[in-house]
Amino acid sequence: MKSGNSSNLVDIGNLGEVLGSSIKNSINTIVIIGGFVVLFSVINSMLDNTHFFDIVIKILSPLLNLFNIPLNYCDSILSGIIELTNGVSKICSISNKEISTNIIICAFLLGFGGLSVLLQVLSITSKNNISIKPYIIGKILHACFAALYTYIILENTMIFNFNL
């Protein structure tokens, strides 16, 4: 194979080196992602144990009442905004006769991904001098549309009526 740039060529002689380098890079990326998840899980736990979320809930309660979001979801939503898996786990543990509320909030959190995911993406893209602003705006829009579409489907489709 010939190309304009000879440094892009891979032959049998350096195939092992290229594969080894790729595996090392992917393992490094996996460790970084895992580190972010652990770090933000610890931050989430610290904020929860210091009752920081309670203070934020008192401040945000008028906004939450505007969207008819029960206050017992606030802690879970804040956890999910910080770190996705903890927030979704907390939402799923809330017993509620209106399961659709849990599903809609989970759709929002899954669309957003959490600050942990945003910083994971930033850690990868910062090496290439790519702006993170369009990504953040896109994730916020994704979260809003995911919640909106989930609401529309749950409210207008009889087969998906999960409320007990």
Q: Does any domain span residue 92?
A: yes
Q: How far apart are CA 65 and CA 77, in angstroms?
A: 14
Residue 150 belongs to a domain: yes
Number of domains in the chain: 1
| Tokens standing for residue 13 | 């002689």
Q: Does residue 164 carry a pLDDT above 70?
A: no
In a domain, 5, yes or no: no
Does the pLDDT at position 4 exceed 70?
Answer: no
Domain that includes residue 18, residue range: 12-160
27-48 in b/e burial notation, b at 16+ Cβ within 10 A? eeeeeeeeebbeebbeebeebb
User: Is 3 among the domain residues?
Assistant: no
Quick check: 61 and 75 in contact, CB under 8 A?
no
Domain membership of residue 41 (yes or no) is yes
Q: What is the pLDDT of residues 84-137, one digit of tens each?
A: 998 999 999 988 777 888 899 999 999 999 999 999 999 888 888 888 999 999
- Prediction pTM value: 0.79
Residue with tokens 């979001």: 69
In angstroms, the CA 28 to CA 12 distance is 25
